[in-house]
């Protein structure tokens, strides 16, 4: 086999379908584009319909087959509707990417219990519910399925002033591992990527001058990540062949943030 043929056999996703929840957001759209360019059909699912349409327009302009459907990850009925629509439109769901997320920053004594509940509901409960809903259909596939959850450097150590977010992302990795062990023998794999700092809507507002300095000091590569730098890890973890023995992994893509002390 020549190079391209070999790599396509190992990583390629031709004819497979990926549902990307939070797919209209910065990282979700970038991952959708990467999976789409690698051959997958994409179902963009997000709470924001205008952003969904704009995302699908962008994907289509790149020659990627894509459709969209709104979803609220905190609501199991809405996720079931998404699954049924995705199955109707595409016949089968091979991959699920859980990219919906929200964040609010505050010192601990000012943590608002309502914000806490909302963040945990989207980031952690939402990830759990969508895994539950899509695993049900993946178990019916002859060749199973693969899930990619999005953790964070907070999954390893808590960043200051984002208490609910940090707890939710620690929970996402724990949940990923627990789902992985439950379905490992049934053909469904579940992994996570844990991105470092890729400024986008949900975290840009938290980046004051001091925080930026702390992030740069703590990141050995001394720069933010570009969302495209997440695509390779995502394809590896999701791919049926290259990732076939990977489940329960949390892959940090963070410019060295979690391996550095100073």
Ligand X SMILES: NC(=O)c1ccc[n+]([C@@H]2O[C@H](COP(=O)([O-])OP(=O)(O)OC[C@H]3O[C@@H](n4cnc5c(N)ncnc54)[C@H](O)[C@@H]3O)[C@@H](O)[C@H]2O)c1
Q: Which residues bind ligand X (CB under 6 A)?
A: 21-22, 24-28, 46-48, 51, 71-74, 99-102, 122-123, 126, 150, 152, 195, 197-198, 200-203
Nearer to ligand X, 138 or 194 (CB): 194
Q: Is 226 left (phi over 0), alpha (psi -120 to 50) or beta?
A: beta
Active-site residue flag, 165: yes
Query: In sequence order, what are the residues at sequence separation of 6 or more whose Cβ sits closer than 8 angstroms to the Cβ of residue 245?
Result: none
Closer residue to ligand X, CB minimum distance, 51 or 64: 51
Catalytic residue among 6, 165, 224, 252: 165
d(CA 150, CA 114): 23
Write down the least CB distance from residue 165 to ligand X, Å: 7
- Which residue's CB atom is positioned nearest to ligand X? 25
To the nearest whole angstrom, how small is the minimum distance from the Cβ of residue 152 to ligand X? 4
With respect to ligand X, which residue has the nearer C-beta, 142 or 209?
209
Q: What is d(CA 17, CA 20) in angstroms, rounded to the nearest whole number?
A: 10
Shortest CB 102 distance to ligand X, Å: 5
- 152/219 with CB nearer ligand X: 152
The answer to whether the CB of 119 falls within 8 A of the CB of 164 is yes
Minimum distance from CB of 172 to ligand X (Å)? 8
Q: Are the CB atoms for 90 and 43 separated by under 8 Å?
A: yes
**Measured between alpha carbons, how far is 24 from 96 in angstroms, rounded to an integer?**
14
CA angle 18, 238, 232 (to 5 degrees): 105
Active site residues: 165
């Amino acid at each position: 086999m020549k190079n391209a043929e070999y790599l396509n056999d190992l990583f390629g996703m031709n004819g497979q379908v990926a549902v990307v929840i939070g797919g209209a957001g910065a990282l979700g759209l970038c991952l959708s584009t990467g999976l789409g360019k690698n051959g997958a059909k994409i179902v963009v699912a997000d709470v924001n319909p205008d952003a969904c349409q704009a995302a699908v327009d962008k994907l289509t302009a790149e020659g990627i087959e894509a459709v969209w459907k709104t979803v609220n990850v905190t609501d199991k009925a809405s996720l079931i509707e998404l699954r049924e629509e995705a199955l109707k439109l595409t016949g089968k769901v091979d991959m699920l990417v859980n990219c919906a997320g929200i964040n609010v920053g505050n010192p601990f004594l000012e943590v608002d219990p309502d914000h806490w509940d909302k963040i945990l509901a989207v980031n952690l409960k939402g990830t759990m519910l969508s895994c539950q809903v899509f695993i049900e259909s993946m178990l019916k596939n002859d060749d199973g399925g693969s899930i990619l959850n999005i953790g964070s450097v907070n999954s390893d150590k808590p960043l200051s002033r984002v208490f609910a977010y940090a707890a939710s992302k620690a929970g996402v990795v724990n949940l990923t591992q627990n789902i992985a062990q439950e379905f490992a023998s049934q053909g469904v794999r579940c992994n996570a990527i844990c991105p470092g700092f890729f400024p986008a809507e949900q975290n840009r507002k938290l980046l004051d001058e001091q925080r930026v300095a702390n992030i740069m000091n703590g990141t050995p590569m001394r720069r933010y990540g570009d969302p495209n730098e997440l695509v390779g890890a995502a394809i590896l973890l999701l791919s049926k062949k290259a990732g076939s023995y990977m489940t329960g992994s949390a892959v940090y893509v963070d410019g060295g943030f979690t391996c550095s002390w100073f």
